[in-house]
Structure 1
Amino acid sequence: MSEHDDPKTKAELLQRIDQGWEALQTFIASLTEAQMTGPTDAAGWTVKDHLIHLAVWENSIVALLKRQMPRREALGLDEATWMSGDFDRMNAVIQQQQQAMPLDAVLKRLNEVHQQMLDTLQPMSDADLQRPYSAYQPPRSEDGPIMNWVIGDTYSHFSQHIGWMDAIITG
């Protein structure tokens, strides 16, 4: 399996998640508090904003897999914002809601949510991860395997944001 192929099994998925998490943790460890809370990107986001964003989206998948609540509620979004399908709009709302959270609380939340993701995935089978999104949150009609959403809000998401956070730091 090359790094660009999607995992086919839970074991492969967990390996990729672990690799992505390790890369994220290595990146975070290389930064000072000032680097995480001071400089911003063109949208006004700090590294801290990116980190809580990752936690919120990963938590939404945990809630989805556990069937705890509609995903939009886990994201803290109203129905109109969620149904807009406009991720920039959704992310702006999330950033505004979470912006005041102190860095230590953000880092704690990120770690807690990630552990919850691992704990949620552990009892799942390969077959569970191939079930459609709609099996976890009806009446949604998405029919791709739920694994795709797990990938999108774990290691793939981590990698994407590491690049953006690095750009904040390096200017």
Structure 2
Amino acid sequence: MVEIRKIVTVVEETHSEGGRRVDPAARVAVVAAVIQNPWAGQGFVQDLTPGIEANGSDLGALLAPRVLEALGAPAEAFGKAAIVGVNGEIEHGSGLIHFLGFGNHFRRAANATTLLPAVEKRGPAGIVFDIPLKHVTDATIRSHHQSLEVRIADAPHPDELIIALAAAAQGRPQQRLAAFSPDQL
């Protein structure tokens, strides 16, 4: 597997929203691996498949159980991210996270059936990114459409990637939007 510089875990609990208590507290978690970009220094690589197959599944297998353990509850919403250092291409991150060998680890662990929403972005160390989350079995459930803001102060370096998974144990705190009607889909 590709070289991992660090793994960052963030857990957030919201106890109050809109001036009202949230009980139980709304819990979200993210686990991010800061890795060496497997294509760093190679120039334009036409076929990314060997690097994706060599690293994508292992990254999914590493991150999926960690984010669920950090969440400490069954996941009701989930998402993923690939943040590329400035020397890399968006396609490098996209290739790793939009690979069933990566995402299926999380889907199986979370008993999920929907596609994982994603963010891909290139930027310098300390870039802020938002991981979108959707319900694990029904992406039309609006209460679970939310995002988690993440920032790792010293990552990604120019030749690194941040590969992250995020999960929520519930929908947005104090959500009160009506369910989608058939004409809104």
TM category (shorter chain) comes to under 0.3
| Bigger helix share | 1
User: Which structure ranks higher in relative contact order (CA pairs < 8 Å, sequence separation ≥ 6)?
Assistant: 1
TM-score, normalized by length of structure 2?
0.22
TM-score, normalized by length of structure 1?
0.23
| Bigger strand share | 2
